[in-house]
C-alpha cells in the first residue's frame, strides 16, 4: 500500500514539474541564464581572493612545502578557468543545462504561490545581495530595467524551492526502491533522507553562502566604522579639510571600511559626484552611523557646514557609546552560554574530591 502511495505521489509531482516548467516564459529563462553566469563569476572571485590570501601567507611564513603550495595553486587555477569558461558560455546564451531547467520550474512555482518583491523573505534576500560586496548586485546595477539584486535573489530562492521539490520526488523513488528490495527498515529511512537532503542541500548552499557573506561584511563594517569615524573626526578637528581627512583614513589600514572609503574616492576621481559615490557606499554598507556621516559630509560639499566638526564628533561619540553597549551585551551573552559548562565542571570537581574522601570512611 505504501509503495502505491509513493509511486502515485511521485508520478503526480513529476507531471506537475513538467507542466510548470512548460509554463515558464522566456524572461524567466533569460534570468536563470544570466544568474548562472553571475554565480560562476562570484565563484571565480571567491577562489581568486582565496588564492591571493594563500600566496600572501605562503610568502610571509613559508609553513607549507613549495611543491604542495604549487599543486594547490595549480588546482585553483583549473577551477578558476572552469568558472570563467562557464561564465562566458552562459553570458553568450549558448548554455542551458538540466539543472537550469530545474531552477526554471522553481521560478514558475514562485509565480504560482505569488511570492514577489513585497515578500519579507525575498526582500531580505535582495538586501543581502546588495550588501554582499559583488559589484554586479549593487543597488544601482540593472538588467533590462530590473535590479540585478532582485534577479539574483529570485534565482536563489527559486533554486532552493525547486531542489527541495526534486528532493521530495527522489525520496519517494528511493522509498519505492528500498521497499521493493524488501528493505523497509532503517535502510529505507536512510535512503529517503539522503535522497531528500542531497538536492535540498545543493539548493540551500548558494542561498546560505550569500547570506553569510553579507552578514560577515555587515559585522566587519560595524566593527571597523568606529575607528574610521574617529580618525576622520580627529583629522578634521585638527584643521584638515574633510576630503583629505577621508583620504588619510581610507589609506591608514586595510580594513573593510577603509577599502570601501578608498573605492568611493576612486569613483570620485573617475568623475562621479561626491554625493553619488557616498550614496553607493551607503548601499553597500548598512550602518546607521555611516548614513549619518554621509549625510553630514555631502551637506558640507553641497552647501557648506560650519558645524561639521561638532556634527562628526556627535556621530563619533554616539557610535562608540553604541559599540560599548554592544560589547557589554555580547559579554553577558557569553557569560550565559558559559554558565552550564561551568556548572558541569563544578559538579565534576565535587565528584573528584568527595568520592575519594567518602571511600576512606568505614560504615
Indicate whether 327 belongs to any domain: no
Identify the helix (H) or strand (E) that includes residue 143.
Answer: strand 142-143
Indicate whether 46 belongs to any domain: yes
Indicate whether 231 belongs to any domain: yes
Length of the chain: 363
Residues 96 and 232 in one domain: no
Burial class (CB in 10 A: 0-12, 13-18, 19+), 345: exposed
> 108 and 21 in contact (C-beta within 8 Å)?
yes
Closest by CA position to 247, among listed 237, 257, 230, 232: 232
CB-based contacts of 191, cutoff 8 Å, min separation 6: 174, 175, 177, 178
Taking residues 55-80, what's their average pLDDT?
A: 88
Per-residue pLDDT of 266-316, as tens digits, reads 998 888 888 888 888 988 888 899 999 988 888 887 776 678 888 899 999
Per-residue pLDDT of 176-193, as tens digits, reads 888 887 776 777 788 888
Residue, of 250 and 326, whose pLDDT is higher: 250
pLDDT value at position 177? 86
Indicate whether 68 belongs to any domain: yes
Residues 115 and 26 in one domain: yes
> 205 and 156 in contact (C-beta within 8 Å)?
no
Closest by CA position to 153, among listed 168, 139, 167, 166: 139
pLDDT value at position 363? 47
Residues 143 and 103 in one domain: yes
Residues 112 and 47 in one domain: yes
Indicate whether 330 belongs to any domain: no
Residues 162 and 25 in one domain: yes
Write down which residue in 211, 231, 255 finishes a domain: 211
Three-state DSSP at 133 gives coil
Indicate whether 40 belongs to any domain: yes
Write down which residue in 162, 185, 211 finishes a domain: 211
| Residue 135 structural domain | 2-211
Across the chain, what does the average pLDDT equal?
Answer: 88
Look at residue 253 and tell me whether its pLDDT is greater than 50: yes
Residue, of 134 and 118, whose pLDDT is higher: 134
Residues 178 and 243 in one domain: no
Indicate whether 333 belongs to any domain: no
Residues 83 and 197 in one domain: yes
Write down which residue in 170, 190, 211 finishes a domain: 211
DSSP letter, residue 64: S
Residues 196 and 104 in one domain: yes
Indicate whether 127 belongs to any domain: yes
Residues 132 and 178 in one domain: yes
Residues 291 and 251 in one domain: yes
Residues 250 and 163 in one domain: no
CA separation for the pair 48, 256 (Å, rounded): 17
Domain count, the chain: 2
Residues 255 and 154 in one domain: no
> Nearest 5°: CA angle at 73, between 72 and 74?
90
Q: Which residues pair with 44 in a beta bridge?
A: none
Q: Which residues pair with 143 in a beta bridge?
A: 146
CA separation for the pair 139, 155 (Å, rounded): 16
Amino acid at each position: 500500500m505504501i509503495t502505491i502511495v509513493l509511486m502515485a505521489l511521485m508520478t503526480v509531482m513529476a507531471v506537475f514539474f513538467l507542466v510548470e516548467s512548460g509554463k515558464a516564459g522566456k524572461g524567466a529563462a533569460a534570468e536563470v541564464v544570466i544568474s548562472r553566469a553571475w554565480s560562476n563569476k562570484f565563484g571565480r572571485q571567491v577562489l581568486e581572493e582565496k588564492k591571493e590570501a594563500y600566496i600572501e601567507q605562503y610568502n610571509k611564513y613559508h609553513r607549507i612545502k613549495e611543491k604542495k603550495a604549487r599543486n594547490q595553486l595549480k588546482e585553483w587555477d583549473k577551477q578558476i578557468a572552469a568558472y570563467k569558461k562557464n561564465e562566458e558560455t552562459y553570458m553568450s546564451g549558448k548554455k542551458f543545462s538540466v539543472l537550469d531547467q530545474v531552477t526554471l520550474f522553481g521560478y514558475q512555482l514562485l509565480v504560482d504561490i505569488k511570492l514577489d518583491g513585497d515578500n519579507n523573505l525575498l526582500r531580505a534576500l535582495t538586501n543581502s545581495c546588495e550588501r554582499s560586496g559583488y559589484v554586479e548586485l549593487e543597488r544601482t546595477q540593472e538588467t533590462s530595467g530590473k535590479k540585478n539584486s532582485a534577479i539574483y535573489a529570485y534565482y536563489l530562492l527559486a533554486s532552493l524551492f525547486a531542489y527541495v521539490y526534486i528532493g521530495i520526488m527522489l525520496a519517494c523513488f528511493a522509498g519505492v526502491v528500498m521497499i521493493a528490495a524488501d528493505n523497509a527498515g532503517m535502510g529505507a529511512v536512510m535512503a529517503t533522507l539522503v535522497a531528500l537532503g542531497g538536492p535540498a542541500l545543493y539548493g540551500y548552499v548558494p542561498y546560505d553562502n550569500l547570506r553569510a557573506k553579507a552578514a560577515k561584511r555587515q559585522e566587519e563594517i560595524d566593527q571597523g566604522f568606529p575607528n574610521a569615524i574617529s580618525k576622520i573626526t580627529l583629522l578634521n578637528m585638527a584643521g584638515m579639510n574633510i576630503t583629505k581627512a577621508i583620504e588619510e583614513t581610507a589609506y591608514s589600514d586595510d580594513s573593510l571600511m577603509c577599502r570601501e572609503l578608498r573605492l568611493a574616492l576612486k569613483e570620485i576621481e573617475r568623475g562621479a559626484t561626491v554625493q553619488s559615490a557616498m550614496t553607493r557606499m551607503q548601499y553597500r554598507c548598512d550602518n546607521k552611523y555611516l548614513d549619518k556621516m554621509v549625510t553630514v559630509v555631502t551637506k558640507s560639499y553641497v552647501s557648506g557646514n560650519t558645524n561639521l566638526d561638532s556634527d562628526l564628533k556627535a556621530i563619533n561619540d554616539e557610535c562608540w557609546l553604541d559599540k560599548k553597549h554592544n560589547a557589554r551585551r555580547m559579554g553577558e551573552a557569553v557569560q550565559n552560554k558559559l554558565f552550564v559548562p561551568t556548572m558541569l565542571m563544578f559538579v565534576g570537581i565535587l565528584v573528584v574530591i568527595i568520592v575519594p574522601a567518602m571511600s576512606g570512611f568505614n560504615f
